Structure 1
Amino acid sequence: MSRFAQALREAGALATTQIAGSLEGTDGPIRDAMIYATTGGKGLRAFLVLESARLHGIGAAQTAPAAAAIEALHAYSLVHDDLPCMDDDDLRRGQPTVHCKWDEATAVLAGDALQTLAFELVSRTECPDAARLELVQTLARASGVAGMVGGQALDIAAETSDAPLTLEQITTLQAGKTGALIEWAATAGPRMAQADTDALGQYARKLGLAFQIADDILDVEGDEATVGKAVGKDAVAGKATFVSLLGLDGAKAEAQTLVEAACDVLSGYGQDADTLRAAARFVIARKN
């Protein structure tokens, strides 16, 4: 197993353990749905938190709450995104979506609880008070109307628009919907260390866009059993994507260019950033 694969697996397990531990003493369908929603993911965002912190001399024990926080927040977004009022999906990570396994009310409440848990977790992160406050504030922005929620709103609006989105509009949309949380995760380490976030911010923005292009490619080339969710929905809906605008080969080439650029901006970290470089290559080679 490569160093990256091991680090990714450990990050996912650490986040899941932190979330489950935070829910000790609770029971019932909401708790069960929260655990269910945070199980089985790649753990990429938790990995980015842990790895960006490691580059700044901060260990996993200090960083674990922040790593769990971003996974809880990401899981909330997926639970709500899958609802009938949004994307109306019945499969996520190869399993029934939360509203299908339980019901819509449970899914809404589990998502709400995961969101609030995320902020509880990040507030426990061991770092200077000013850095912890910045982590909370930037997570709020990344997940709100200026970030993920705003991107999702643009995505929903595009489905009923007469004019398909341009490449620039899709790039802006995905920078919020997908990229904002990835950028928060990759800059959490330098924020904790009260260091410069520029290089890792640039890396994350390129990584996030490459990740979304890879998702668009998987929607065309992937199969449902491997991807773990419905595929081909964008084409059926006539939705503008990176593939529809750039073509399949053009989208693959753009993703590769972004990955190479993401790796290049890490030059200041030398070989210490090799695991982050492996993560960039992973996002466009993955099958789910």
Structure 2
Amino acid sequence: MESQILMTPNTSAPSAPQFDFNAWMQEQLQRTEQSLSLWVGVNAPADLGEAMRYAVLDGGKRLRPLLVLAAAQAVQGLPDAAMRAGCAVELIHAYSLVHDDMPCMDNDVLRRGKPTVHVQFGEARALLAGDALQALAFELLTPADDMVPPAIQAKLCRVLAQAAGAQGMAGGQAIDLASVGKALDEQQLRRMHSLKTGALLEASVAMGVACAAVTPPVQQALSRYATALGVAFQVVDDVLDVIADAATLGKTPGKDAANDKPTFVSLMGLDGARSYANVLLQQALQALDDSDLPDVRALSALAHMVVSRSH
């Protein structure tokens, strides 16, 4: 996360200041880490909290919380609701990684540069830690006080539940498991990843937008941005699985090819996949322009970061 992107704002004012994306990102990451540390695994019994915190803290790009916070900022949404939403979507992401890494799924031993949760704590505790993280996500979205209006709470819960369930992440993982060794065309591959990976990224933007009242055209434009970004993320992920080593990637490289899983690289070739990622980046940026929002610099910089990342 060492990006140093400087962006000029989406305005014609000649004297407008530059946008220091790195400074913005570091501030948001610090706030997110503080919130996660405060909320995750506190008072959980029988060392369950330790496994939960191991799964969430001190690792990960935090792309999903950053997308929530950037989208909320773009639409001038409620900051407290946005932080809770960002942490909630990160907990869903973390729980999915815990379960995906287990022997019954991808059977991986390395995640974020350290042993996976089931290797560190055993399969039973890893399963419970994932379950607890999923439940905690929705607890964060429904605080007992009036910090987040009930209507926004309900909308956030619905968006996240849909993205995580059978019509989202879980459904995409099911397709992934059923597709091993099969030849998928681009449309089938896109559908699988739009559910498995894209749904949660799209939900991150939608949850940020849900922290404010916006017009349908703005909502539609940001939805198109999120869709393009979600596919681009997976395309780059497939490229990195081929070209990056374990130390850089933080997880076991080459697993897709070893397991005969269909990828954008296997479908398009390495150069074709890289070119496709740049096409998707331009689609995402065009959607931001179409939103006519006065300040989408953070969302724009995040799109650039997704496509140019090395891990």
TM-score by length of 2: 0.87
* Residue of structure 2 aligned with 1:264, choices 272, 281, 286: 286
Identical-residue share of aligned pairs (%): 43
TM-aligned CA deviation for residue 95 of structure 1: 0.6
Residue matched to 1:276: 299
Establish whether residue 170 from structure 1 lines up as the match of residue 193 from structure 2.
no
CA contact (8 A) 1:7 1:47 kept: no
Code of the aligned partner of 1:253? S
Distance 1:269 1:138 in 2: 24
TM-aligned CA deviation for residue 256 of structure 1: 0.3
* Residue of structure 2 aligned with 1:37, choices 55, 61, 69: 55
Distance 1:126 1:44 in 2: 24
TM-aligned CA deviation for residue 28 of structure 1: 4.1
Distance 2:139 2:62 in 1: 19
Distance 2:26 2:126 in 1: 26
Establish whether residue 123 from structure 1 lines up as the match of residue 146 from structure 2.
no
TM-aligned CA deviation for residue 167 of structure 1: 1.3
TM-aligned CA deviation for residue 138 of structure 1: 1.5
Residue matched to 1:156: 177
Q: Which ranges in structure 2 are unaligned for 5 or more consecutive residues?
A: 6-19
Distance 1:50 1:139 in 2: 15
Residue matched to 2:33: 16
Establish whether residue 250 from structure 1 lines up as the match of residue 268 from structure 2.
no
Tell which deviates more after alignment, 235-244 or 44-53.
Answer: 235-244
CA contact (8 A) 1:132 1:192 kept: no
Find the structure with the greater CA-based Rg.
2
TM-aligned CA deviation for residue 11 of structure 1: 3.2
TM-aligned CA deviation for residue 127 of structure 1: 4.0
TM-score by length of 1: 0.94
* Residue of structure 2 aligned with 1:200, choices 210, 213, 222: 222
Tell which deviates more after alignment, 270-279 or 141-150.
Answer: 270-279
* Residue of structure 2 aligned with 1:65, choices 81, 84, 100: 84
TM-aligned CA deviation for residue 113 of structure 1: 0.3
Distance 1:9 1:88 in 2: 33
CA contact (8 A) 1:11 1:43 kept: no
TM-aligned CA deviation for residue 105 of structure 1: 0.6
Distance 2:44 2:30 in 1: 21
TM-aligned CA deviation for residue 77 of structure 1: 0.4
TM-aligned CA deviation for residue 270 of structure 1: 5.2
The 5 A counterparts of 1:95-134 are 95-124=114-143, 126-134=147-155
Tell which deviates more after alignment, 213-222 or 12-21.
Answer: 12-21
The 5 A counterparts of 1:130-145 are 130-145=151-166
Deviations 1:108-141 (CA, angstroms, capped at 9, x unpaired): 0000000000011122394432222111112111
Distance 2:165 2:64 in 1: 17
Q: Which ranges in structure 1 are unaligned for 5 or more consecutive residues?
A: none
Establish whether residue 5 from structure 1 lines up as the match of residue 22 from structure 2.
yes
Tell which deviates more after alignment, 65-74 or 12-21.
Answer: 12-21
After superposition, the Cα gap between the structure-2 partners of 1:131 and 1:244, relative to the gap in structure 1 and judged at 3 Å, is: same
